[in-house]
Structure 1
Amino acid sequence: MARLILIFVCLALTCERGYALEPSHRLSQYGHSVWKVQDGALPAVPEAMAHGIDGYLWIGTTWGLLRFDGVRFVPWTSAHGEQFASKYITSLLATDDGSLWIGSILGLDRLRDGRLTRISTGPGLVLKIQVGRDGRVWAVQGNPSPIERSLCVVQDDRLQCPAPLPGLDLSANSCCTHGLAQGPDGSLWVGADMALLNWRDGKTDVIRPAALEANRGMGGISAIVATRRGDLWVGMNTPGHEGGLQRVVDGKLQPLLSPELDSSALMIYTLFVDSHDALWVGTGDQGLLRIHGDRVERFRSSDGLSSDTVLRIYEDREGNVWVATTRGLDRFRDLEVVTYTTREGLSSDGVGAVLPRADGSIWIGTIGGLNVLRDGEITTVDAPHRIRNAQITSMLEDAAGRVWIGVEQSMMLYDGSKFTPVADAEGRPPGLVVGLAQDQDRNVWMEAITPHRLMRVAGSKVREQFPAPDIPAARKVAADPAGGIWLGLVSGDLAHFRNGRLDVLSYAEINPTVQDRRVNQLLVQQDGAVLGATEFGLIEAQAGKRRTLTHANGLPCERTFSMLFDAAEDLWLYLECGLVRIRKSELAAWRADPSRRVAVRLFDTLYGSLTSRVPFTPEAARARDGRLWFASANGLQMIDPARADRGDFVPPVHIEAILADRKSYSMGSQLQLPPLTRDIELAYTAPGLALPQKLTFRYRLEGYDEHWQEVGARRQAFYNDLPPGDYRFHVTACTQDGACNAQGATVAFAVLPAFHQTPWFSVIVALAAAALLWALFAWRLRQVAVRLRSRLEASLEERERIARELHDTFLQSVQGLMLKFQSAMEKIPVGEPARHIMEQALERADEVMVEGRTRVTALRRSTQGRHDFTAAIRMLTERVAEDAKGDVRLSVEGEPRMLHPVVGEEAQRILTEALNNTLRHANARNIHIGIIYSRREFVVRLVDDGRGFDVEVLKVAAADGHWGLAGMRERARKIQAQLEIASKPDAGTSIELRVRASIAYATERRERRSAH
């Protein structure tokens, strides 16, 4: 348990029949990824695996249950506090209903929809779980002490042991082990310690392997599997006669015998049949074997396997085969790009030429000789010594079926029976030929680089030679269907040569900083388009138009080695960073708009492509079966476009966790995060087990994000200081091909508000603000009222002063003058005219004194606070009612209060003026005077039903002698009152005076003062 566990993810390439079937040393040539215990990836030995419909790879270990999304191993824990029967998990089974059946050393559990259900409650070691064709779940269970095994079936969420199988008796054959399988005919095969039992229709047949009889129960049948072809394989952990790996044929056991393998000598721990109907064999000390037909592959720790002791083998829904060993977990993946090197039989890893022949064979020219791939086998061509170990630089099969082979500094012609050297016009070797083509006239053109020259061959002899600089130095030559040939020049330009005429199309302005500008390969299409693979991208010429496809157009990198079209007319480019496919439609769109970015699919090292070194003479070719072959310095690479189109698996998307301020929360329909949450992290994933690096994600937080956020391969979302509210997080995943899980995954949550973030707090703040504003307004009103009262009080005091002065000075002085005039008059005899004049003057003086005293009395009265406004208006109403033509009424609302003397006087004068106007001009039938005493204001209102007038006259109040209205407004402004006058012709008139209570009513101080 405490040992260090290395997990090797091993990438095994495929050939014609699915997985890598040629030599048995395929594993060691590819890199592997290692997870160590101290990294927290896999804490214990893997014992069982299952791929659920949720996309996760579930791994049962001696420590517990893990789930793997292709990137991270995460221990499973129940959100509801449930526990497994035991953390030592021995078997797993994922069924289509979403259940994960978990067998342990103490029983059986079922995990579905996040809830764990105990199926068996008693102690019992669950060795194997399997689903039958009828959908029932079977289990092999046993108690370790005493050793006792039972074949059980799950019914009504309970494990029924033994299963109700009449006629099946295990007791006579010791105990049942891991062996359990259902044959093609529906029969049940059960492995026991010393026998193999076949139960069908209530009858049991027994096969007793000799190796188990000799071993007396110390071993046993460890595994039983049935292939779709109908083969039944039995694995025993005891080697020997009828032991090891055996196939059941007509009720008898037969080992697999070949020059490389005797299957009876193996110690078998586990067996598995994959989706290709190949048998995978896990041994106790000899690693892993894969048997497909009569072909056997072996992988051991020396080949990169994590251990030679294989415990379990499992194939997931994406086609990955997982191998659990005592030291880790290995993954075998069916790659799109297959590479052939010296391990497969090539003379050298450096491949300079590839030629698919009409007979279906693939001729491969390496820097160490010529090889042929036929029926999955690579052999060396039986050729003269100069070809056998020499560098092959170019190859061509002409219209006659002859093969032209550039061999170092010479050219060889193979006619099917012998190799003949081809000399130049002087009878010497033509040099290092890097380009070959046959034109419409059946001339073979050769381009050599030592020295640089172009040669035309007719028959088998060089007829013409065009040395540089007559013909610019080139690297590749291709025939033009319209006649002549095209040359790919070392300058990066294209040239057309026909009948001695040379036309050059220059691309010097394209990326001029590139030093090596050679054209690595040419393709000429039937429509006349010429494509060149260059060091600075793809170039094309068509009908005099030049186009370039570079990084700016969407290429992942620009250095292009070779290219070719597949059967669907999609273009494949062999770039420095891998193989790239450009769809026919994308290519047409680029030709219509050369500035367009094209959509490409990159097959990089994750798909098996190897491009670490530049090939000397890069070439590519398409075989008759549609497969594409690319020469490289690391070997010959092949891709089948039909298999590349199988489409990437689009995994489901899961939101795994929500962390708020570093605290984890369980996701539910009512998830609520606490107030003032600052940092929120959402962890999500899409379990892609084959190519998790190629998955990209985008997400959006509804209620916060306006647009989708494209985040690439990142699997966390971060939000800070979200305001309170309801949110919905939505995440989706897409593959490199653009296939997306549009539904994705969602989770809703709410951030609760703090008290100061609640609507109630806002209401309280609004009310407090309103109260404060009202207090400020009231304070301002009080200030205004105080200032107004101060002015009114000053006015009253001024009136009192004037009254005193008039009484104490003026009237007294006038009275003294009158007394003197009286004395003077009495001295004038009666009857004198002067006496009469003096008497008249004294009478006039008496009238002035009376008027003066009246005025002083009026001033005195105007300063008295006990002026009864209601009584005064009632007297006024009664007086005018006697002479009015209509009905004059007075109404009083509220408790009458004493008015401030100035307010009362001004209000009375305004009302008197309004009433006089009504009596003189309105011709009203009804006049209503209303007085309202309220706590907030004092209101005086006069309403009549007279003929009214145009209110526009108010704007020119002084016009035509209308000084009364202006005077009324002046008096209203004097006491800070609101005067509203509303009238329309023939609609009556309404005059209303409103005075705030703080101004209108007399204070106690004023009343007390007036009383004195």
Structure 2
Amino acid sequence: MMDTTSHRRELSWHRWVLSWLCLFLSYGVTATARANDRDRGIGQDREGTLWVGTSGGLDCFRHSSLVLAEFPRGSHDFALAAGNDGAIWAGSTNRPLMRLHDKQVEFTELGEPVRCAYRDPEGTVWLGTSDGIWRIENDRPVRVATIPSQETFQQVQAMTKDAAGALWVAMSTGGLLRWKDGVWTRMDPQLGTTEVARIYSATTDARGRVWLGYHDNRIVMVDNGLVLRYGATEGLDVGLGTALRAGRRLWVGGQLGLVHFDGQRFHPLAVASSEPLRGVAGILEMPDGGLWIHAVPGIFQTWWFRASCLAVVLAGLWGLFLLRLRQMRVRMRGLLEERHRERERIARELHDTLLQGVQGVVLRLQSVAEMLPVGDPVRNAMEDALDRADNVLVESRDRVKDLRAASEHTRGLSHAFAKVGEEFGQDHSAGFHVVVEGQPTPLEPIVRDEVFRIGREALVNAFQHADAQRIEVALTYDCRELRLRVRDDGRGVDVEFLQAGGRPGHWGLSGMRERAKKIGARLDISCRSESGTEVELRVPARAAYLGAQKCAWRNRLGRIVGGGR
């Protein structure tokens, strides 16, 4: 409840009481009376609450002004009016007319739902349905008028009674009627309004003047033929006028707030809360000037709207993050492709210029060495140098092959590994084949490059050191991970070499582990004497695949369909 005449004074007084209350609470205050304690002081505030000081603290006795009206659950869209005997008449869109008295609910079927209920100054309750006007007589509804035929398909939106005893009835989709002595009169022409102007609220003040609230932020006052119109020029800013109450002042509530009229202008009601009143649907002024207000929060004031805004902001940030991530991936892919093109260029330059030039020099020196007699020390020295030059050429060709292989595997890992097997198979009798499981999926360029290099190093070790009869490469494209397995049936690797990270002076195994760590993969090397070696590389899907998020969703869906397997 809000006392508009002395709100600030009462608020400061309440703050003084609350400050003392907090002081007493620190010493253990209860909200119930202690009959055995001796009273130390008693006082009553403006709301009727009794405060009693005892040896145990501060007690309060408060009278509740609200009592639960227990109508049937599920009832909604109430139209309420109070009878003289303490009963409450309630209309609902999904229940018959209800009368609540002494916690008992009685039902009366009127044929149509009651959309409007009004109590006039004499205490008579009026009810409006789509086909008639009803009045409560001896605790029973009695039809007193039938809605004109042209208004049959409308609902009664608002009712009020003027000083002459005539009932003013506003219809839901437009139109204003006045009922007096059993005769209906259309009031729209007299007010200078059209039939489509919708009235949402109506009231009559103590002087018998009729006030009407329209949908377009407009109030109309009718006083014995005098019609006055008020709007934004007079300070009215409530939007759709959903509630009118005439008491000590004229109160107007609407979608945008609550205002009162001083005879000339409308003034907004200031409230303690930082947020203004929104969606005012009901106003009740008490005899002492206090107000009861039913305000429905606007859509932007509800918790779910704010939660939705937060979700939209978070979704926007997530979208920006994904966009940035995609841009970085495109950029990294471009850089890697550029690196591959540079490798191809370097490989061509080395092969077409340097290696061929060195090979020509070696052949020339070889011809010169053959001109010397056999056993000549100079010839022996030149032949040793030529042997070392041949080794350098072989090693250089291997490096050129590595550069070309790194660019060729962009067409697919299985194709790249098959090419490696063909090259080494020319000098080895071991059987070699590549197995692909699952649907091949595009890989991240960096991951693809590192996986190929790890697999190629494993194949080099298998062909050159395992003395195997069978070598196999298995690629598995799974929604959870990418798996690469290189298996052979050779003599295996000594355990001490594995624990030491490889043979002294060789960096193949340590390089494989470093590459696996670089892409967040797991590398396992297992071997048994006379049973061969298996190199297994597992790369998580989120790091391996382009579009890994889609694959993750397919994986989750597959587990749901498969019963969580």
TM value normalised by structure 2: 0.38
User: Where is the strand percentage greater, Structure 1 or Structure 2?
Assistant: 1
TM value normalised by structure 1: 0.22
User: Where is the helix percentage greater, Structure 1 or Structure 2?
Assistant: 2
| Structure whose CA Rg is larger | 1
